[in-house]
Structure formats: C-alpha cells, structure tokens
Amino acid sequence: AQSVTQLDSHVSVSEGTPVLLRCNYSSSYSPSLFWYVQHPNKGLQLLLKYTSAATLVKGINGFEAEFKKSETSFHLTKPSAHMSDAAEYFCVVSDPGGYQKVTFGTGTKLQVIP
C-alpha cells in the first residue's frame, strides 16, 4: 500500500528566503510523485511531477523537487519565496498499475511574511 507523510502542517518564511516543504512516501513499487498547490478557495493545480526520469524535477513558478529513493523523500524547494506563494501544498504518491488511484498527504500551509 502507498502512503505519504508531509512532515509540517504549517511553514512560515520571510519573503525572499528559501522554501522547504518536506514529504516522505511509502510505496511497494517505483512510484509516481506529485506536488499540487491550492490557493485559498481555489482548486488544485499541478506544480511538478516525478515519473522515473530525472530525479531533480523542475516545476512551475520556480519550484523544484528532488526524488531520493534511499531516503524515500520528495521535498519541495524554492530559492526565494514570493508573497504569491502563500498557499497550501499537497504531496501525492501513486503506484503504477491499478486504476490510477493516488494518495494525498494532509497538506502544508505556507505562510510568506513580508
């Protein structure tokens, strides 16, 4: 069975400083991993995805994530936070096969302080 743990429910950073949102996963296979962002009262938007190609994945809005199999981690980073990055971020894991079901983490709310 697959699972995902987001290690922080809230993260607060100052504008212009680096962002680190942590995600650990559990999977019996070679998983696909995703990060989604949800701005207040909005739907979810895909930030980036890992599907067994390059382990360093670049996404939209300057975000990137590194797949580390030995650590079962897929942490999301951004060098410099912007006010518009304030949102909730979800790490998602999916095992191959089956009916494309995915498992969501419980989310990390990012606060950006001006």
Site for another protein in 55-114 (CB under 8 A): 90, 94, 96, 99-102, 104-107
Measured CA angle at 112 (ends 9, 10), to 5 deg: 5
Report the C-alpha gap between 72 and 67 in whole angstroms: 8
Q: Confirm or reject binding of residue 30 to another protein (CB under 8 A).
A: no
Report the C-alpha gap between 61 and 79 in whole angstroms: 11
Q: Confirm or reject binding of residue 40 to another protein (CB under 8 A).
A: no
> Which stretches of the chain bind another protein, using CB under 8 A?
9, 32, 34, 36, 42-46, 49, 51, 90, 94, 96, 99-102, 104-107
